[in-house]
A and B are shown apart, each in its own frame.
Chain A
Amino acid sequence: MKNTKIEYLVGCFVLAGLAAILYLAIQVGGARLLGGDVYQLQAQFSSAAGVNPGSRVEIAGVRVGTVKSVNLDEAYYALVTLELPRSVKLDSDTIASVKTSGLIGDRFIELSPGGSDLFLEDGEMIYDTESALDIEDLISRFALGGIDSNKE
């Protein structure tokens, strides 16, 4: 009788541990147990370097969603799928920018809501995008001269 009780408690403890590990894995992976009240938008970037599935999506520095996937489209643009709660309604002239936390921090997507009053629906595309500032490109332009240097 006593052994059964101990075994029962151990079983509960193991189950609780497994549940905690599962929860942690889901949170870290940016996934969801249930579908939830979310919708997806796509954004097309000339470069989405550093953005990965699970990366943050923010508005005014507040996390509102997650990057679901990053793929290459037929025109060789980076096609980023964003997952957002339905409570976050975005106008069609929303701007999506790839930003960096600090100088060398993680890349994330910053959304700047528009004011068109035409809201983006599930699966629609954000065309107004800004790729991340390319430090190497800036340095090379500065060092070697870029398109701006027209002086003979």
Chain B
Amino acid sequence: MYKAILAGLTILLGSTVASASADPVEELKGSVTEAVEVLYGEGSEAKSVELKRDEVRAAFEKNYNMDIIIRRAIGSNWRRLTEEEQTRVLELIKAVVLKAYIDGMEGRARPEIRYEAAVQLGEHRLEIPSVVVMEDRTVSLKYKLARMQSGWELYDLVAEEISLVANYRQQFDEHFRRGTAAKLIEKLEGLLNHEKLDHKVTL
């Protein structure tokens, strides 16, 4: 149940990885703390859900290109979309993830995040394992970073050994086996219109 919340949460928490950082690990930690502050910091109780969503999104898009992780999740199905559909799908998925994350974390206690030693995989890849302690359970979470032209970017999150990208790619593959891009957009719009999204965000 918490994996999907965490998936959404960690996209956003991990999303503010600064692109030109000399130390991507410290940057990640700083960014995660900053994102958590939006939800649990001083004065956060007075903020509306919409405002929190906007602030998290603003913090996120300031430092991180969320398109990377979404495109990776869509995989080869990306080529089935027209340019207009690509833009629309990216925008809708971002909005759905933000909504699921904020709705899912609303009313919960502040999670504690413990980091383990980062593992360098070649010159341009880095894995940062962590443990997220929530009020009723603890989940292992691995941030996968790659050095791209824009700097260090988050390209996948692995919660309890389940890759976010692989998990959602399976769902997109399944959708496109029978469905169309228009149907996908319709589904995503439907999710956005739900009063409240939880962790079970599936296509």
Chain A residues packing against B (C-beta within 8 Å): 44, 75, 91, 93, 95, 97, 112-116, 125, 127-128, 130-131, 147-151
- Indicate which residue in A97, A115, A127, A147 contacts B166 across the interface (CB closer than 8 Å): A97
Asked if B29 CB lies within 8 Å of chain A CBs, one says no
A150 near B138 with CB under 8 A, answer yes
Closest to B3 in A: A148
Interface size on B, residues (CB 8 A): 32
Tell me how many residue pairs across A and B have CB atoms closer than 8 Å.
65
Q: For the complex, give the distance between the alpha carbons of A147 and B144 in Å.
A: 20
Asked if B74 CB lies within 8 Å of chain A CBs, one says yes
Question: Which 5 pairs show the lowest CB-CB distances between chains A and B?
Answer: A115-B78, A150-B138, A113-B76, A150-B137, A115-B76
Closest to A60 in B: B173
8 pairs, CB–CB < 8 Å, chain A vs chain B: A95-B169, A112-B75, A112-B166, A113-B75, A127-B146, A128-B156, A147-B139, A150-B137
- From 102 to 120 in chain B, residues with beta carbon under 8 angstroms from any chain A beta carbon are 119
Indicate the member of A112, A115, A130 with the most B CB atoms within 10 Å.
Answer: A115
Known contacts A95-B166, A97-B166, A127-B121; can you find 7 more A-B pairs with CB under 8 A? A112-B166, A115-B72, A115-B75, A128-B166, A131-B161, A147-B139, A150-B137
Q: For the complex, give the distance between the alpha carbons of A150 and B139 in Å.
A: 9
Which of chain B's residues have a CB closer than 8 A to the CB of A44? Answer: 121
Q: For the complex, give the distance between the alpha carbons of A75 and B117 in Å.
A: 14
Closest to A91 in B: B76
